[in-house]
Each structure stands twice: as structure tokens, then as C-alpha cells.
């Protein structure tokens, strides 16, 4: 997967060994490589997207039925491994070696590329926003919050469609986190400022809904605002990640 485009070789591997265990190895390799080099996460995710599009059938041995499409197998494996890694916060340092932060980046990117179901990650975001409800060491609260902010910045639009994602509650939680001063890392504080852009988005979106049927021309300015917001939130997130990981 470190080659410029490893898709053809991975397809050959899967066709030679069309089993769930092969997909497991690919998923684990994807996670390991992304943790070693976070700057390559988009390239790695794009490789998995190309694999999904091949529609190869793999044998599962009963876990997902006798056989399943590669897209479903990848979804299953990524959900399982990323979900498990997000639940285990071992390191309290805001540093490039912090596994929770790199896995948060990876899971958000994986969600952005529609490689797995957002359901598995909403719990991690809730743990970060409501850290006081969970039995985590106080020293790890900052890392939990930043992990949630990374996911909201990169893939918030995907999370927003989940039934248990409540935007007003997210805004309240981010406001409380800022006021309490949980985040000490300077770039982490910049990342937390994404809440202001989320408020901007929600406010304008509500105005657009109210005026939509009476003044349809408001739609074009709103689309521009949405694009501006998307660029700004990603910019804040990646400035933090650039200084931390790259």
C-alpha cells in the first residue's frame, strides 16, 4: 500500500485469496500505515475506495454469511478495528505519538470516504464531548476532546445524519468545554474554535429554511456560505494536525 497506486496488486491478492482474512490484513495495514504517516491518510483511503468499487466477492466463513461483497467486508473490518481503538485512550499527551488522535483522524477520513458506517464513531464523539460522564483519567480529557473535534471538523456532515447526533447539544458541549478550559494545547485551542463556525452554519441554515419558499434566491448565497464554512473548518483542523503530526 506504500506504492503510488497499489490497487492492482491488492486486487490480485484478493482474487488469489478471496477470503475475509485477506480483507482483515488490508484493513489492519491501512490503519498501521496511517498511524505511521498521517499525511498519507487521504491517499490510503482512496486506495480502499478503489478496492470497494471492484465488487469482488469474498468468502467469510459464517461471520457475514458464506460470502459477501468486498465493500461490506471492508466496512465490517474497519468498524471493528477503528471502533475498538477509539474506545481505548492510553496516552494523555497531545503529541504525534498519541494513538487516539491519529485514530480520530483516520476514522474521520474513513467516514468522509464512505468506507464504513458513521454509527461506530458517534460514540467516540460523545465520549469526547461528555468526558465527565465516563470513567477516564482526568489527564486524558484533553485528548478525548481533541479527538472529538478532529472528527467533527473532518466528517461532521456525515455524523449529523445519525439519529443520536443532536447539533444543539454538541454546541452546548463545545461551549462548556471552552469555558472550563479543558484544552491547554495552543493549536488544540484553535481547533476548538470550530464551534464558532458550526454556530455560524446552523444559524444561517435555519434562516435559509425559513426563507426558502418565500425568497428562493437566498439559496445561492447560502451554498457559498456552506462551502466557505467547510473550507474554514478543514483549515483549522489541518493547521492543528500539521503542527502536531507533520
| pTM of the predicted model over 0.75 | yes
Per-residue pLDDT at 31: 92
**Per-domain residue ranges of the chain:** 1-87, 92-246
CA–CA dist 188, 195 (Å, integer): 12
Closest CA to 120 of 145, 86, 89, 90: 86
Q: What is the pLDDT of residue 72?
A: 92
User: What per-residue confidence (pLDDT) applies to 39?
Assistant: 83
Q: What are the tens digits of pLDDT across the range 91-123?
A: 999 887 889 999 999 999 998 898 988 777 888
pLDDT at 225: 37
Q: Say if residues 46 and 55 touch (Cβ distance below 8 Å).
A: no
Closest to 202 in 3D by CA, of 148, 156, 240? 156
pLDDT along the chain (246 residues), means of 10: 83 95 94 88 93 93 84 92 87 87 91 84 87 88 91 78 72 86 86 62 45 38 38 53 50
Amino acid at each position: 500500500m506504500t506504492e503510488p497506486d497499489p490497487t492492482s496488486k491488492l486486487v490480485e491478492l484478493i482474487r488469489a485469496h478471496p477470503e475475509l482474512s485477506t480483507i482483515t490484513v488490508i484493513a489492519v495495514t491501512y490503519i498501521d500505515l496511517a498511524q505511521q504517516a498521517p499525511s498519507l491518510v487521504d491517499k490510503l483511503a482512496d486506495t480502499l475506495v478503489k478496492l470497494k468499487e471492484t465488487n469482488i466477492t469474498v468468502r467469510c466463513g459464517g461471520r457475514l454469511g458464506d460470502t459477501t461483497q468486498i465493500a461490506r467486508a471492508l466496512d465490517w473490518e474497519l468498524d471493528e478495528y477503528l471502533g475498538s481503538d477509539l474506545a481505548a485512550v492510553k496516552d494523555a499527551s497531545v503529541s504525534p505519538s498519541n494513538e487516539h488522535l491519529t485514530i480520530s483522524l483516520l476514522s474521520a477520513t474513513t467516514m468522509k470516504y464512505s468506507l464504513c458506517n458513521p454509527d461506530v464513531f458517534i460514540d467516540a464523539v460523545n465520549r469526547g464531548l461528555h468526558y465527565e460522564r465516563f470513567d477516564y483519567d482526568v489527564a486524558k480529557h484533553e485528548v478525548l476532546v481533541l479527538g472529538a473535534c478532529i472528527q467533527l471538523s473532518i466528517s461532521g456532515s456525515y455524523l449529523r445524519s445519525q439519529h443520536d447526533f443532536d447539533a444543539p447539544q454538541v454546541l452546548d458541549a463545545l461551549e462548556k468545554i471552552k469555558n472550563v478550559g479543558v484544552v491547554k494545547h495552543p493549536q488544540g485551542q484553535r481547533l476548538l474554535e470550530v464551534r464558532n463556525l458550526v454556530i455560524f452554519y446552523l444559524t444561517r441554515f435555519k434562516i435559509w429554511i425559513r426563507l426558502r419558499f418565500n425568497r428562493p434566491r437566498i439559496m445561492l448565497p447560502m451554498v457559498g456560505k456552506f462551502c466557505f464554512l467547510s473550507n474554514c473548518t478543514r483549515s483549522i483542523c489541518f493547521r492543528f494536525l500539521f503542527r502536531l503530526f507533520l
